């Protein structure tokens, strides 16, 4: 099974890494595809985001990190992907992912999406929570906080911001 | 029953048309009211959006298309509407429509909203999905994709964009 | 528009009456159809439940009360109904009604269901809440409680139980 | 990937078959495991239910049908399964499956569940809808109805009931 | 603040204990009230269930355990309670608790309910999950499994069943 | 119990006031904390929003109004708060508040959030509904409408806008 895990990863969190490790065990190859052109101004560039992922996933030999732009469906067809995988932390996430799964199945002519329930330990961690905390300037505890939410390499970079 | 179906219709989709046809069968007259001043910059002007609707609904003699601005509740009272109709594709849509129905009932002093469940065939089609696909520039398959989501007259215009 | 409002009405509540009055204003005729053979043992017989409804709705000339058994879809076709109407108090209700609407549309070959959001005043009132309160024997306040949940004629009968 | 798709399948529906076919394409082997001892009295015995599945899935060489009793987690460990797969038709289904996925991951010490969104065409079809329609005795249209919900072999058997 | 935490506790789980400890820190006194007459046949009697709670909560001096029957609202009024507290593990739980909170506020003439989000660690643990696992006879791993879901005193008793 | 009720209050609504009054009855002291730096451009400045609250809550001796910026968790720790309280009007609100409760519990090292279900009377009233109505220029009925949604002092100010 040749799988694709797309996302913005702005930035990658410990929750992402947990799902990616679990997904990698089930696939022959897993491509982690970083969305190059998100609608909102990202915190990190696509190249930075991909570098954080590469650094954090290097212990998984069947995982590779890529950057894509344009339609996910086109990328999936071009890369000859068998299935898309996404993590779901809550019913709210599910509502979004259900729509996406149906749209992408239509646009690709049949590539399905498999959803994986996040470990409850990471349920409250999201890239947007990280960005929101960062935007509330001035906490001295930021580094400690981020250390529990993102990989060390990202926490270091967030410290600089 | 004199009914009102308000919306942004940016652009009208095959899902809208399906609901509008089903609603028209139940009403004496159905006014499709295009929101003239949406908060976000629309893809098409209100006049263009209304024209697409008029073109697509001309086989329904009891339907007329109008453009409104300001408060929907004021428009409904001014037009002497008996009931508002809206389509719902998912629980997520329902969450939004429930709030709107309660607000509009309050603001109009009693005009109710009737919700109609979308055909599952159109469940994953939305104006925002169309706009999102369009914003991911460069697919050669755009025209084919849009042909399954919007009426032909809209697909032609999207091709130009 | 010839409408059908099906239900168990075991017993009819003030919430039901509110929705039925609002629905009746929108229809040419409204048939309130009492399910004769619910899966669970009902509190009141179908004849009693229909009598409570008849008593409570006699001020609405275009409403009639009936009892049906078997498949709702068959009843709707036999009675030449244009549309089914149901009330929704919450997303939880919506989840159930969406499935029913899709099933009944399939079984009837096209009869749609219109959903109407309950007045928030009646949001917490349900037949099952009435039955649950009744089953907790022994409150002296039962009559007062039920007077705020069901029509007087039903509250009287509940007092006897 | 050695996958397990557990369920009651009472009876198997066209929705089940669609998900099972899509899942089978992604797995090396797929075991469809029929729950032998459901809490409610089933419509068909476990052996009948398994036979319907075997008949309906014989064109898929990497699928086998089995009956299990006891804890799903024990069965999954005994059979050396890599992953559990389940279909989800709605947020309501998701709510149930999320809990099950977390429980089974805990009980197995790490076997994950992958959720697959049902085709919208089968969204309103469920075993319980079939059973509910059957329990409303007397429709002459039953056979036609069931032909659109279950495989022919099951529709024939339902006709006899 | 004199608080009441009602429930069936059949049996008490580690998730219950976590919420009760967190709630106890916020209240002057916390009464844990065991529902004496649940609609379904319980696994343990009300006296047993209360004993498990007493045993497990003895380190909390401001907590007392009681058994009640009849209407929760009547009990709350009789005991002069300021507020009801309940735990919520998911949106599904919330749907149920919202209705209950509204009903109990009505029945008591103003006693509110405060909802507390469960620790994600206990999100998948529920009394019904324990009962379901128990009903799937025959796992040798039962004791290990239950040790992670319920207090030791309950796990011992479950072993005997 | 020293409680904190944070929010944007842009502007304070009758729904906010109802929840705040109910919460104040349960706490020793209640701090209403106005978010000074919301991500979107607010309708009123933090000072104005706090003044509306102070004016509207002056009959509650144990309530004080404050403005905070930065991380809510830091503010809660600095102020030595026991618990955070928030109102919930719907499952949609719950989805958001559950995530926030988990994040804030993590960031504070244990400060819990208690959720209180809004009175159904105020279920459809929100600050964003007020802002949306205001942005649809030109209704002569604005003042009447706002009088049912916000305190008189706010309705006066909205009239000027």
Please identify which residue in the block is written with the tokens 């470990």.
A119
Can you give the length of chain E in residues? 161
Closest by CA position to A6, among listed A93, A98, A71:
A71
Out of D126, D139, D148, closest to residue C70 by CB: D139
Q: Which helix (H) or strand (E) holds D3?
A: strand D2-7
Q: What is the mean pLDDT of residues D22-41?
A: 91
pLDDT recorded at residue B138: 60
Residue F123: band (very low, low, confident or very high) from pLDDT cuts 50, 70, 90: confident
Pair type for strands F2-7 and F29-35: parallel
* Catalytic residue, candidates E25, E39, E40, E59: E40
Report the C-alpha gap between C59 and C68 in whole angstroms: 23
Contact flag D70-E137 (C-beta cutoff 8 Å): yes
Q: What is the mean pLDDT of residues A109-123?
A: 94
Report the C-alpha gap between B18 and B9 in whole angstroms: 13
- Say whether residue A120 is in contact with chain F using an 8 A CB cutoff: no
Residue A37 scores a pLDDT above 90: no
Report the C-alpha gap between A38 and A128 in whole angstroms: 13
pLDDT recorded at residue B75: 95
Closest by CA position to F31, among listed F11, F70, F52, F1:
F1
Contacts of C27 in chain B (CB under 8 A): 1
Q: Which helix (H) or strand (E) holds E49?
A: helix E46-56
Establish, for the pair of chains D and E, how many residue pairs have beta carbons separated by less than 8 Å: 32
| Sheet containing strand B83-88, strands side by side | B63-68, B29-35, B2-7, B83-88, B112-117, C112-117, C83-88, C2-7, C29-35, C63-68
Out of E91, E92, E120, closest to residue A121 by CB: E120
Q: What is the mean pLDDT of residues F147-161?
A: 90
Residue C111: band (very low, low, confident or very high) from pLDDT cuts 50, 70, 90: very high
Residue F74: band (very low, low, confident or very high) from pLDDT cuts 50, 70, 90: very high
Interface of D with A in 58-117 (CB under 8 A): 82-83, 85, 88, 91, 94-95, 97-98, 101-102, 105, 112-117
Closest by CA position to A11, among listed A39, A46, A61, A60:
A46
Indicate the Cα dihedral angle E67, E71, E73, E74, nearest 10°. Answer: -80
Which chains sit next to A, with 3 or more Cβ pairs under 8 A? Answer: B, D, E, F
Phi, psi of E61 (to 5 degrees): -65, -25
Name residues whose C-beta falls within 8 Å of residue E78's C-beta, 6 or more positions apart in sequence: none
Structure token pair of residue E161: 């069943």
Q: What is the pTM of this model?
A: 0.92
Are the C-beta atoms of residues A11 and A150 closer than 8 Å to each other? yes
Contacts of D91 in chain B (CB under 8 A): 90-91
pLDDT recorded at residue C98: 94
Domains of chain F: total:
1
Judge whether A56 counts as a catalytic residue.
no
F64 three-class SS: strand
Indicate which of C29, C76, C115 best probes the interface with B, i.e. most B CBs within 10 Å of its own CB: C115
Give the range of the structural domain holding residue C121, as residue numbers without chain letter: 2-160
Write the CATH number for B64: 3.40.50.620
Other Cβ atoms less than 10 A from the Cβ of F21: the count is: 15
Residue D39 scores a pLDDT above 90: no
**E-only strand ranges, C22-71:** 29-35, 63-68
Report the C-alpha gap between F111 and F108 in whole angstroms: 6
Name residues whose C-beta falls within 8 Å of residue D110's C-beta, 6 or more positions apart in sequence: none
Tens of pLDDT, residues D81-112: 999 999 999 988 999 999 999 999 999 999 99
Tens of pLDDT, residues E85-121: 999 999 889 999 999 999 999 999 999 999 999 998 9
DSSP per position, D61-80: TTEEEEEE-S-HHHHHHHTT
* Catalytic residue, candidates E86, E89, E118, E126: E89
Tens of pLDDT, residues C29-48: 999 999 997 667 899 999 99
Q: What is the mean pLDDT of residues C134-157?
A: 84
Report the C-alpha gap between C68 and C66 in whole angstroms: 7
Judge whether A159 counts as a catalytic residue.
no
Digitized pLDDT (tens) for each residue of chain B, 161 residues in all: 999 999 999 999 999 999 999 999 999 999 999 999 766 789 999 999 999 999 999 999 999 999 999 899 999 999 999 999 999 999 889 999 999 999 999 999 999 999 999 999 998 899 999 998 888 766 667 778 888 899 999 999 988 87
Measure Cα distances from D22 to A91, B25, D60, E67 in Å. 23, 38, 11, 52
Residue F134: band (very low, low, confident or very high) from pLDDT cuts 50, 70, 90: confident
Closest by CA position to A44, among listed A6, A7, A8, A10:
A10
Pair type for strands F112-117 and E112-117: antiparallel
Report the C-alpha gap between E108 and E105 in whole angstroms: 5
Closest by CA position to B72, among listed F124, F138, F92:
F138
Active site residue ranges of D: 16, 40, 89, 127
**E-only strand ranges, E18-105:** 29-35, 63-68, 83-88
Pair type for strands D29-35 and C83-88: unpaired
Establish, for the pair of chains C and E, how many residue pairs have beta carbons separated by less than 8 Å: 32
pLDDT recorded at residue A4: 98
Structure token pair of residue F143: 């003042």
Q: Which helix (H) or strand (E) holds C47?
A: helix C46-56
Q: How far is A121 from chain E (nearest CA, A)?
A: 6
Per-residue three-class SS string for F75-141? HHHHCCCCEEEEEECCHHHHHHHHHHHHHHHHHHCCCEEEEEECCHHHCCCCHHHHHHHHHCCCCCC
Tens of pLDDT, residues B97-131: 999 999 999 999 999 999 999 999 998 899 999 99
Residue D138: band (very low, low, confident or very high) from pLDDT cuts 50, 70, 90: low
pLDDT recorded at residue C138: 60
pLDDT recorded at residue B108: 93
Other Cβ atoms less than 10 A from the Cβ of F28: the count is: 12
Can you give the length of chain B in residues? 161
Report the C-alpha gap between D64 and E70 in whole angstroms: 52
Residue A139: band (very low, low, confident or very high) from pLDDT cuts 50, 70, 90: low
F141 or C130: which leads in pLDDT: C130
């Amino acid at each position: 099974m040749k799988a694709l895990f797309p996302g913005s990863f702005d930035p990658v969190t410990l929750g992402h890494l947990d799902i990616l490790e679990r997904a990698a065990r089930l696939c022959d190859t897993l491509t982690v595809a970083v969305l190059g052109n998100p609608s909102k101004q990202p915190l990190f560039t696509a190249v930075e985001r991909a570098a954080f992922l590469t650094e954090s996933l290097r212990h998984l030999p069947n995982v590779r990190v890529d950057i894509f732009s344009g339609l996910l469906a086109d990328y999936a067809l071009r890369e000859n992907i068998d299935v898309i995988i996404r993590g779901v932390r809550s019913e709210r996430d599910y509502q979004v992912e259900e729509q996406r799964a149906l749209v992408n199945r239509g646009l690709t002519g049949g590539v399905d999406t498999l959803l994986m329930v996040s470990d409850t330990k990471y349920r409250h961690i999201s890239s947007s929570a990280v960005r929101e905390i960062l935007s509330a300037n001035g906490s001295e505890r930021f580094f400690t906080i981020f250390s529990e939410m993102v990989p060390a390499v990202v926490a270091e970079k967030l410290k600089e911001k």
